[in-house]
Structure 1
Amino acid sequence: MNKIFKNIAFFVGTLILMTSCEKDEIQAVLNSGATPVVSLSAPTVVLTKDVAENTVLTVSWLKPEFGYDAAPTYTILLDKKGGDFSKAYSYSAGKDLTKTFKGAELNSILLNLGLPAGAASDLDVKIQAKLSDAVTLTSPLAGFKATAYLDKLDLSSPWGVVGSAYNDWGAFADAPFYKTGSVEVFVAYVTLKDGEFKIRKNNDWAINYGDDGANGTLEANGANIISKAGAYKITFDAAKLTVKVEKYSWGIVGSAFNNWGATPDAPLTYDPFSDQWRGVVTLKDGEFKIRQNSDWAVNYGDDGANGTLDAGGANIAAKKGTYLITMNLKENKMTIEKITNLWGIVGSGYNDWGATPDFTFTPDFGNFSKDFDTKGVWIAQNVTLKTGEIKFRANSDWALNYGDDGANGTLDVNGANIAVTAGKYDIMLDFSKSTPAYKITKK
């Protein structure tokens, strides 16, 4: 028996020694100094809309001599100069040794890093080569200058609509006025309730206007302006102190949607970031037109089926599906883009897990991208929730749904239900980053 124990001890000792030697051999052949070296195609990049679809920057590197037959995977990290890379842009390149950036792609990265448009900014780039879970080698920093451009309009103004007719006199943010082509003339597109409203600056009562004579002339601290329920265009001249309130809306009507007006038209929403009207609409096989104020006095079709809007023009053919419809009144153009995923809210906290239709999100046009349905930001405003749980799902179906396993604001596919309490909320889904996220804000 003693001999057996001695043999076992000898075998174990030999095995430990062999394992130790193998580790020493691996450590001996790994060239820890073999880090990637970054090469950039240009030291300076000036971005404009004209080069949005052009390749503007190429990041490349050679596979280092690791000292053995390694199979690394690479990650590109890009941050503001001097940043700690904790909030850097990250791109997984796999086994590739190069990455090209188009103008629009790089511009979006720069803006998401918080860099200003129209001014040159310094950036740092580095490459990480991952050899195993325990070993990652990082390149020295490389740098370049880049100038971003604003890819959307900024028509914002400090003025807003407040009142019982809109936000219960400031229970939530005032309806915004937007800049127009005329200096000191602003416009708001707003849906009002029966009630009253005023115009004020910066969501504050220090500067506000009403209409003492109900004659369209504004007075500082003047009388409330009476309104009836409906969709309106409010034009405010801050220089002349006048206001004009007129019914105003655009919508989709047709056999493809509401049997030519048997039910309300599908509304289009003003997008101040592009000065266009947009709407997400689920259509049937059929035809449609765009009309103003749910009336035929002003309507558009498309005589040439070429995307050009014609007053009183031909019906527009449609196939069954969900679409983003965009109307550009300045150019009399229209685009129709099919949507893969239309996001909604479902749960005991809203519709008893689908007993009634999901609350539908709309794109946040301030964070708009060509692939917005999978890469953009979606918003749901003024959602009334009950105490319970919710999830987010695509196309009112469970095939693709998100919850939150860690209750940390990160979206997880098929994740845990999200607990909510009764109240009115704004909810945002953000698919624009590598890790999808959401935010629920009580109003």
Structure 2
Amino acid sequence: MKSIFKKYITLCTLAFIAFGCEKDEDKVIVSPGATASLSASQSNIVLSEEDKSKDAVTFSWKAADYGYDAAVKYSLQFGKKGDNFATAKTEEIGNAFSKTYTVSALNNIATEMELPGFAVSEVEVRVTARISDQYAASSSNIITLAITPFLSEPEYPTVFLVGDATENGWDNAKASAMFRDEADPFVYTYTGNFKAGPFKILGYLGKWAPQWGASSTGDLVFRATDSDPDPSSFSIPANGYYTVKLNLRSNTITIDPFEATGDMYASVGIIGPFTNWENIAPMTKSTLNPHIWTTEYTFAEDTEMKFRIAEGWSVNWGADSDATKARTYDKGKRDGPNIAVLAGKYQIYFNDLTGYYLLVKQP
């Protein structure tokens, strides 16, 4: 009896071992650290609106090796250089081994990453591979791209001059607004009287960043945040009239002397149906720049307006371009057609030397 029992135990043990060995043979071993290998068709990419339908870059990678025929899902991640992908933009790709982005699509990614327009930014890209939520995704090598995005519209309704050369010095809450070029919304211009001394350009009133200043060689430098290095100032060489022009497409600035020969007016204002086309709603003249006028005004409904001196219609400025289309900036002309304005509250700027006007919507 004992002999039979021992034989039974032995057979069970052998069967258990055999079953266990068979299961070991069926186990899937996931190789740790399996990675894909990433490459890009180009590394220096300048994006332009004219080419938005064209291909910008193609990313390719070799399959990640997990030690068996796995169903792998890939993602591309785009991160600002030095951010360690902490705030990366992730694009799900599926099981493909390449991805081509058009200029428009890549520019959209750059916009979502809040990269500055018309400026070179370094972007790190990697591909991640995942077989299951139970396993951590593996990452490829990191490649770095130099991407220059474009903008269809500038982020800034206007920008502001601040510094010793300007009317209110370094008070960033009272900086002087620049006008926008009638043909190119990315060009900001200011023609007026300056004091000799330094100045910078701010993106918003009351904030020191974003900001544009000068490099050691006088080139334009963009300071995106307060944590970025503070650039040097530009300089007005002597008291007098100048035109300062900031071009955000080419990232350049010019400072040119200006011969101010225009008439001086005692009072300029806005006029339209909201004043019954009779008397002007007067604007405030700049102390340093007697050709620059400002006011805040709320239009209760869509309307029309002109700029006019207080004394009558002998001197007035209207629209220079399509008068039927409401524009918040333009270069007005003497005796031009009425300027279309949409309802709302605006800070209004006007330069009677150049005819430039600007309406900045207020909250």
TM-score bin (small chain): 0.3 to 0.5
TM-score in terms of structure 1 length: 0.37
Q: Which structure is larger by alpha-carbon Rg, 1 or 2?
A: 2
